[in-house]
Amino acid sequence: MIMSMLRFELKPDSVAALKDVFDRYQILETSIQVEGCRTLVLATPDPEGNEAFVMGLWDDEAAYQRWMDHPERGAAADDLLQLVAGDFDPSAPAGQWQVLSTLFDADLAPGAPGA
């Protein structure tokens, strides 16, 4: 399993607008349908700040590559470019890390394997 993380350095007061772009283009809803995509999160350390992240869990690098090759990936590029500060390449891949361990609430539910 791998985790992808894409950082957005935004212009001031653009976090809400970034979420609006993700909602309008259904970016998370589209990418979660890619085979091997398990979890996606759009998050910010401060809703009033200028930084946001998209994090995903993928079965493997091939699963993430399917998203990179998806025909709808990049559809929001022009809108995203209006929100970011500094250099941003909408076609660049996110950083990727090998996942060593994961735990989800469902893993702790009564009746779950190992519970």
Summarize pLDDT for 1-45 with one digit per residue, the tens: 999 999 999 999 999 999 999 999 999 999 999 999 999 999 999
Which CATH code is given to the segment(s) 2-108? 3.30.70.100
Average pLDDT over residues 87-107: 86
CA 39 to chain CA centroid, Å, is 9
Residue 103 neighbours by CB distance under 10 Å: 7
In terms of pTM, does the model score above 0.75?
yes
Query: Where does the chain show beta strands of DSSP type E?
Result: 2-9, 37-43, 51-58, 95-98
Q: What are phi and psi of 16, to 5 degrees?
A: -65, -40
CA dist 94 and 85 (Å) reads: 17
Give the residue from 52, 45, 10 showing the smallest Cα distance to 28.
52
